[in-house]
Amino acid sequence: MEIINKEEQAYGAFNGGEIIENKPIGFPQDGGKGRPYSALFYWAYAKAMVDSTIGLHPHKGFEIMSFVLNGNIKHFDTKLNAWQELSKGDAQIIRAGNGISHAEFMAKDAVMFQIWMDPSLNKTMEQEATYSDYADAEFKRMEEHGITRKIYVGQDGLMRMDTPSITIEEWTLTEGQYKYATSSDSYFSAYNLGEKITINGKDFLSDAYLRIDEALEILIESNGEAKLFIIECPKQLSYKTYNELMQERMQQ
């Protein structure tokens, strides 16, 4: 189990610091300790210090997801050719396919995750781009062993992805101890959206990120309400990811 605290993550900014980011997994040039793995290529936590717009820019191949954690954002893309508004708890996915351009507006104090998945670019680069947004109230919630799980992707999840075997959830925990067994077939990652908790006796601070590579029973201890954003990705994929292909080219 590896924990990467906020100050060890990559840092980014737009528009002269109007939007700031810490990145559990940044681009190679961003620095930071986190690196792409499985189909998970990029993960950023973005906060708007003032109203700010990230101008129109292109994407291809990847599935790009935005999860609104606080406030309001707006999204424009050349597929819909219109601005779409999203609020706290809502989510969107761009299946970028053979090409799409989009722009984003974040209202002051808005916070969101942007996460890129690699669904096998050899296939998606031949497909038309598609886009979907989802309202907070549409997502299923489940309570298990004191954990309230909001399910974005996976079994009972609403979001459709081309990337295979992904689970994305948000967990809310009250004060107490909780056990969870990770899978031997998946990588387990979590981002702490609340106050400090402990996991297997180790401090897991606010805005810290952890990744578990091997099957492990984890013991979570919380002194109050805690919130975790969870991603599970398969260890075995049927294709080589963009990151793997780039690593191979660098070694040649």
Tokens representing residue 221 in the block: 């201890």
- 227 and 145, same domain (yes or no): yes
CATH number of residue 21's parent domain: 2.60.120.10
- 195 and 113, same domain (yes or no): no
The most distant pair of C-alpha atoms in the chain lies apart, rounded to whole Å, by 52
Give the 3-state secondary structure of residue 243: helix
Distance CA 225, CA 192 (A): 12
In a domain, residue 146? The reply is yes
- 120 and 188, same domain (yes or no): no
Residues 164 and 239: beta-carbon distance below 8 Å: no
- Beta bridge partner(s), residue 15: none
Q: What's the pLDDT band for 171 if we cut at 50, 70, 90?
A: very high
- 116 and 185, same domain (yes or no): no
- The answer, yes or no, to whether residue 170 has pLDDT greater than 80, is yes
Distance CA 230, CA 220 (A): 14
In a domain, residue 251? The reply is no
In a domain, residue 18? The reply is yes
Distance CA 90, CA 236 (A): 30
- Parent domain of 152: 140-234
Please state the pTM of the whole predicted model. Answer: 0.95
User: Mind listing the pLDDT tens digit for each residue in 195-224?
Assistant: 999 999 999 999 999 999 999 999 999 999
DSSP state of 185: T
In a domain, residue 100? The reply is yes
- 71 and 124, same domain (yes or no): yes
Give me the number of domains the chain comprises: 2
CB atoms within 10 A of CB 129: 20
- 107 and 11, same domain (yes or no): yes
What does each C-alpha distance from 164 to 161, 176, 202 come to in angstroms? 7, 34, 31
- 60 and 184, same domain (yes or no): no
- 106 and 144, same domain (yes or no): no
Q: In the listed set 88, 114, 136, which residue is the last one of a domain according to the structure?
A: 136
Strand order in the sheet with 40-48: 10-14, 19-25, 40-48, 111-117, 63-70, 91-95, 130-134
Distance CA 81, CA 210 (A): 38
- 125 and 34, same domain (yes or no): yes
- 122 and 166, same domain (yes or no): no
State the chain's mean pLDDT as an integer.
95
- The answer, yes or no, to whether residue 88 has pLDDT greater than 80, is yes
Give the 3-state secondary structure of residue 186: strand
Percent of the chain with pLDDT over 70: 100
Cβ-proximal residues to 91 (8 Å cutoff; 6+ apart), any chain: 65, 66, 67, 68, 133, 134, 139, 152, 159
In a domain, residue 249? The reply is no
Distance CA 90, CA 133 (A): 8
| DSSP annotation string for 80-100 | TTEEEEEETT-EEEEE-TT-E
In a domain, residue 108? The reply is yes
- 25 and 52, same domain (yes or no): yes
- 92 and 169, same domain (yes or no): no
End-to-end CA distance of the chain: 31
In a domain, residue 32? The reply is yes
Closest alpha carbon to 210 in 227, 192, 195, 234: 192
Q: What are phi and psi of 6, to 5 degrees?
A: -55, -45
- The answer, yes or no, to whether residue 33 has pLDDT greater than 80, is yes
Burial class (CB within 10 angstroms; exposed 0-12, middle 13-18, buried 19+) of 177: exposed
Average pLDDT in the 132-139 region? 96
- The answer, yes or no, to whether residue 252 has pLDDT greater than 80, is no
